[in-house]
Structure 1
Amino acid sequence: MDKYDKVIDLCKRRGFFWPSSEIYGGVAGFLDFGPMGTLLKRNIEARWREVFIHKNHGLVYEIETPVIMPSKVFEASGHVDHFTDYVVGCTSCNKKFRADHVIIEQIGEVQGIEGMTPEGLDKLISEKGIRCTECGGLLGKVTSFNLLFRTNIGPYSENVAYLRPEAAQGMFINFKNIFTMMRERLPIGLAQIGKVARNEISPRQGPIRLREFTIMEIEFFFDPKNPECNALESVKEKKLRLLTEDLIRADSTTPVEVTLGSALEDRLIKSEWLGYFMALSSDFISELGAPPQSQMFVAKLENERAHYSAQTFDQMVNLERWGWVEVSGHAYRTDYDLSRHQEFSGNDLGAFRKYAAPQKILRLIARPRIDAISRDFKNETGKVLALLKSIDATKLKSMLDNNSTIIDKYEIRKEHVEFVEKEETISGERFTPHVAEPSFGADRLTYLSLECAFCEREGRTILRIPRSIAPIKVSVFPLVNKDGLREKAEDIYGLVRRHGFIADFDDSGSIGRRYARSDEIGAPIAITVDYETLRENTVTVRDRDTWEQSRISVDSIVSFLSDYYKIR
């Protein structure tokens, strides 16, 4: 077994996770988390919340929005049209596969495969002799497949809705409410931790690629004319390993290591706020157990980026079986999302930029000619007037360059509108904020932390889970279950729990087996109650990683654990 198989086996035995609906054969792309896995995942979420939200309080605020949203939201966001992958089916057994994945599985990485068209993928499959991985049959034509899970709201078939594929849209459509209540100050970030769903074509990488998972995202809104990050000083000397677009075009797979400050100065990273969150992400992933040299940020080429992105970096970590795997995504989404929701909803989602001093401008004004409109549209005059009022004057003038235009069902001609310029004194201008987005999948990070923590010593398995996210903080054992040792161990178990430490009590089998079980669930500290405890009021404390043992007094257990976990 390779490390992946060993980790998966351990996860099932020790209650971390396993395939969902297992008694019915399981369903690919879904996981059930057991007691240990739930604790570990929640600790990762809590640590992310501390690093990205709490330490940036006053800039970043957490919200919560529904998992199911009406179709209009995802029409505006572009997901209905663009959230697709390419699928290919076997002509013999009818199995379906994600086209790029089945190619990579059989011939290895292909430069630029993410940006290939269906025709390009068809050609590659034909030239390389790619066959069905299940039966060896011929593959059919590559087609597009939308990854949204579709549903309906209520009993009405016309009320189409989708399970959200990202938490971002809930933050975009709530931007105006929160921006207003926060006294219209920029920059401001909105964060969410919650479930999302993506109808993946053929997820076959266990916890690495799921159809339902927990996402942790921030949408950070800032003024594009004042894009400076006021927190940059604290991270600008942070070194990042970047595989830039230029390196990728040159067929290089070796990243360049630069400080964040240099990367911004050389325009390798286009947004200071994007770079700031990349620096935080590098430290966060290191804290989960992945050393910096096993990480890099890989730029997406223009034809590989999502429809909303002007620049994207995927943070990658090198795993034993799967190679370089994405653990976070960092996108400069510009004003795409707010502009689209503003257009589709008709609501103003912009902000106001105040000038240092008032300025005089000439403003173009469109004045509907009511007599001409009444003559041509009669009973629908009111509707036409409202329609013309809703359109920006400059845009309307451009639409009428060819003398007439169709708006909705109405033919509007130049004679229906008069354009005049009026001098005005203004104190500022409206604009649409830009957005930097860091995004993480908590389920994938749970597996990452387990693989990084997994090691073997003298034939035994140890999970060296970092203490900040360890699901169990301390294990408590009696040496034997007699002579009052069990009762004393139960007292100590109650003591540490009352002081907020998640603890495990184990009185089954030999002390060696108990230590082994404690190591397998990643408890950093084990406390053993023995006969000396009864005589001297001391206990044995064992370190998971070194197996070293020492004795401390029962009275100092709480302070010892508080110091160990840096709790004040």
Structure 2
Amino acid sequence: MDRYEQVIELAKRRGFLWNSFELYGGTAGFYDYGPLGSTLKRRIEHIWRELYVIQEGFMEIECPTVGIEEIFVASGHVGGFSDPLCECKQCGEAFRADHLIKHIVEEADGLTDEELDRTIAQNNVKCPECGGDLGNAYDFNLMFKTQIGPGNGRKGYLRPETAQGMFVDFMRLARYYRDKLPFGATQIGKSYRNEISPRQGVIRLREFTQAEAEIFIDPRTKTHPNIQRFENTVLNLYSDASQDKGESEIMTVREAVDKGSIAHEFLAYQVALVNYFLQRVGIAPDKLRFRQHRKDEMAHYAIDCWDAEILTERFGWVEVVGIADRTDYDLSAHANMSKTELSVYIEYEQPRMMEKFVVKPNMGKMGPMFKGKAKVVAEALKALAQEALEKEEIKVLVDGEEITIPRDMVEFAQETIKVSGENIVPHVIEPSFGIDRILYSVMEHAYDEEIVPAKDTTDDTEDEARIVMRFMKEIAPIKVAVLPLMTKEELIEPAKQIAARLRDKGILVAYDDSGTIGRRYRRNDEIGTPYCVTIDYDTLEDNTVTIRDRDSMQQVRASVDTIDDVLYEMIYRERKLETAGKPL
């Protein structure tokens, strides 16, 4: 088995991950999180919230996972959220056309359907399942479509990302933050993409968890007030220029901004924060890099975008976080669709005298003539340039209808006015995290196998293999295992009392009295439990217990009286094992 198979086998056996719907044969693109997997996932999300909500101050909101069609028309998902699909003419299996030729064409993502068809035909690419001929490629929209309400209802979609809810709530958020830029909102929740052929386990799912922050900033200045926090942080950057050379560059955050590798401080700060988060949850620093989107793959709304990529054994470099400067694209798109201005009023330090072209519709005349449309027509008039207002006929376009407006209904002129501020459409910096991919990567990087010398084995007679998940202590699903040496009442009772004290301290504890003590140690090594506490007959004599460390397998003898405080400090305050008691 390769590392992926080893991790998934352990994950299924020990209750981290299970294939969904197994009772009915399952289907690709869905996974259940078992007791340990669900707990591990919550630990990762908790640290994410600590960084983005508590430390950065970007409060969390929760929006529906179903959205009405207009939202996704405005965002561009209805028109452009597609992958190229082709189907086998013989067995009917569907495939992503660009994935079928990745071994032939280096940049297959950007090819048109016609170019994909030509490459498949010229290289005689066949169905990977049955060897049959493939049909022509066509665009397949990845959103799950639904209907809201009975009958004809209202067309809707399961959201393909959590971001749009935060954009739609922008005006409410601006009011909450008293219109003071920068401000941000966060959201952790399910997103849905109807992937064509998800064959990469938890790396590519149809239902997955995203953690996103939308940070609204003043586009006139993109300096970050706390950039000094990460200025000297060293990053592994695979920039656009580096990709031409085929090797990444190691530089500090300050060097990356000064050299122009990263567009500005606000974006650089978020790249560094992602770097800090991923290493804190257990991603190996030497298997983490930040790849810049190349000019020909940059999204039309972004001026700079970086992907945090993690090196995995089977899948190579896997994107787990995208950090983008989305400019004002999203707010402008929703403003156009909703006919509502999405901006923040920014006051100047001192009022300014400015020449301004002022349009004054005569609402007294327009009301009777245009009735319910009068306000919309007036807004359309205000948007016209001076040249359009000076023409013989003044015309505006309202809801696709061209309307002619009598000249006596509008006045306009250049005026000198005192201006106290201006409305600004903020730009958006977005770090978007794929929690499922991060969780798998954490498990792969934590997975270890080693040979334990006979003196440390479960039967003390021969060397044996040990599987251990070396999770960071603060994300380990189970923090402490409490183990009575034998299933005797005089040992079980104090063991359960210690377990209760640890739970009162907020520590998730497993109580285990099944099997030999060596086998119980191995079981807890496999699930990544940092510490085991063993209660034996010496406990009854001197009120001490054995604390065993998962990684080193070293043991100390510690007092029962302070066991809860000591273990808490070892898990969350980096207290060393040797300070906890007397070595054995």
**Residue matched to 1:494:** 500
**Residue matched to 2:331:** 338
**Residue matched to 2:288:** 295
Structure 2: gaps spanning 5 or more residues: 452-464, 575-584
- For residues 518 and 44 of structure 1, the distance between their equivalents in structure 2, rounded to whole angstroms, comes to 20
- For residues 238 and 404 of structure 2, the distance between their equivalents in structure 1, rounded to whole angstroms, comes to 52
Structure 1 residue 469, shift from structure 2 partner: 0.4
The counterpart of 2:402, out of the listed 386, 402, 410, is 410
Q: Which amino acid aligns with 1:21?
A: F
Structure 1 residue 389, shift from structure 2 partner: 1.0
Contact conserved, 1:400 with 1:413, CA < 8 A, in 2? Answer: no
Structure 1 residue 261, shift from structure 2 partner: 1.0
Q: Which amino acid aligns with 1:73?
A: I
Contact conserved, 1:78 with 1:307, CA < 8 A, in 2? Answer: no
Q: Which amino acid aligns with 2:257?
A: L
Q: Which amino acid aligns with 1:219?
A: E
- For residues 184 and 232 of structure 2, the distance between their equivalents in structure 1, rounded to whole angstroms, comes to 23
- Give the direction of change, closer, same or farther, for the CA distance of 1:398–1:292 in structure 2 (3 Å limit): farther
Q: Give the % identical residues.
A: 41
Structure 1 residue 329, shift from structure 2 partner: 0.6
**Residue matched to 1:221:** 216
Contact conserved, 2:361 with 2:381, CA < 8 A, in 1? Answer: no
Helix, strand or coil for the counterpart of 1:233?
helix
The counterpart of 1:538, out of the listed 532, 544, 550, is 544
Q: Which amino acid aligns with 1:457?
A: E
Q: Which amino acid aligns with 2:468?
A: I
- For residues 526 and 381 of structure 2, the distance between their equivalents in structure 1, rounded to whole angstroms, comes to 65
- Give the direction of change, closer, same or farther, for the CA distance of 1:28–1:2 in structure 2 (3 Å limit): same
Contact conserved, 1:21 with 1:27, CA < 8 A, in 2? Answer: yes
Q: Which amino acid aligns with 2:45?
A: E
- Post-superposition CA distance 1:330-383 (Å, at most 9, x none): 111000111111111122210122223222223223345899x98xxx985335
**Residue matched to 2:82:** 84
Contact conserved, 1:229 with 1:273, CA < 8 A, in 2? Answer: yes
**Residue matched to 1:519:** 525
Contact conserved, 1:400 with 1:414, CA < 8 A, in 2? Answer: no
- For residues 379 and 555 of structure 1, the distance between their equivalents in structure 2, rounded to whole angstroms, comes to 85
Helix, strand or coil for the counterpart of 2:128?
coil
- Give the direction of change, closer, same or farther, for the CA distance of 1:384–1:53 in structure 2 (3 Å limit): closer
Question: Where do 1:135-534 residues align within 5 Å?
Answer: 135-248=130-243, 250=244, 252-368=245-361, 381-383=370-372, 385-391=374-380, 393-395=382-384, 397=386, 405=395, 407=397, 408-412=400-404, 415=407, 419-458=412-451, 459-482=465-488, 484-534=490-540
- Give the direction of change, closer, same or farther, for the CA distance of 1:164–1:138 in structure 2 (3 Å limit): same
Structure 1 residue 122, shift from structure 2 partner: 2.1
Q: Which amino acid aligns with 1:432?
A: V
- For residues 401 and 192 of structure 1, the distance between their equivalents in structure 2, rounded to whole angstroms, comes to 49
Contact conserved, 1:200 with 1:210, CA < 8 A, in 2? Answer: yes
- For residues 476 and 370 of structure 1, the distance between their equivalents in structure 2, rounded to whole angstroms, comes to 78
Deviates more, 1:200-209 or 1:268-277: 268-277
- For residues 316 and 399 of structure 1, the distance between their equivalents in structure 2, rounded to whole angstroms, comes to 51
Q: Which amino acid aligns with 2:174?
A: F
Contact conserved, 1:364 with 1:394, CA < 8 A, in 2? Answer: no
- Give the direction of change, closer, same or farther, for the CA distance of 1:116–1:414 in structure 2 (3 Å limit): farther
What is the count of residue pairs matched by the alignment?
A: 557
- For residues 558 and 306 of structure 1, the distance between their equivalents in structure 2, rounded to whole angstroms, comes to 51
- Give the direction of change, closer, same or farther, for the CA distance of 1:139–1:405 in structure 2 (3 Å limit): farther
- For residues 492 and 566 of structure 1, the distance between their equivalents in structure 2, rounded to whole angstroms, comes to 19
- Give the direction of change, closer, same or farther, for the CA distance of 1:381–1:55 in structure 2 (3 Å limit): closer
Contact conserved, 2:473 with 2:572, CA < 8 A, in 1? Answer: no
**Residue matched to 2:566:** 560
- For residues 392 and 85 of structure 1, the distance between their equivalents in structure 2, rounded to whole angstroms, comes to 41
Q: Which amino acid aligns with 1:121?
A: L
- Give the direction of change, closer, same or farther, for the CA distance of 1:21–1:409 in structure 2 (3 Å limit): same
Structure 1 residue 404, shift from structure 2 partner: 6.4
Deviates more, 1:516-525 or 1:172-181: 172-181
- For residues 40 and 398 of structure 1, the distance between their equivalents in structure 2, rounded to whole angstroms, comes to 63
Structure 1 residue 28, shift from structure 2 partner: 0.9
- Give the direction of change, closer, same or farther, for the CA distance of 1:343–1:280 in structure 2 (3 Å limit): same
Structure 1 residue 326, shift from structure 2 partner: 0.7
For the aligned residue pairs, the C-alpha RMSD in angstroms reads: 2.2
**Residue matched to 1:127:** 122
Contact conserved, 1:238 with 1:260, CA < 8 A, in 2? Answer: yes
Q: Structure 2-normalised TM-score?
A: 0.91
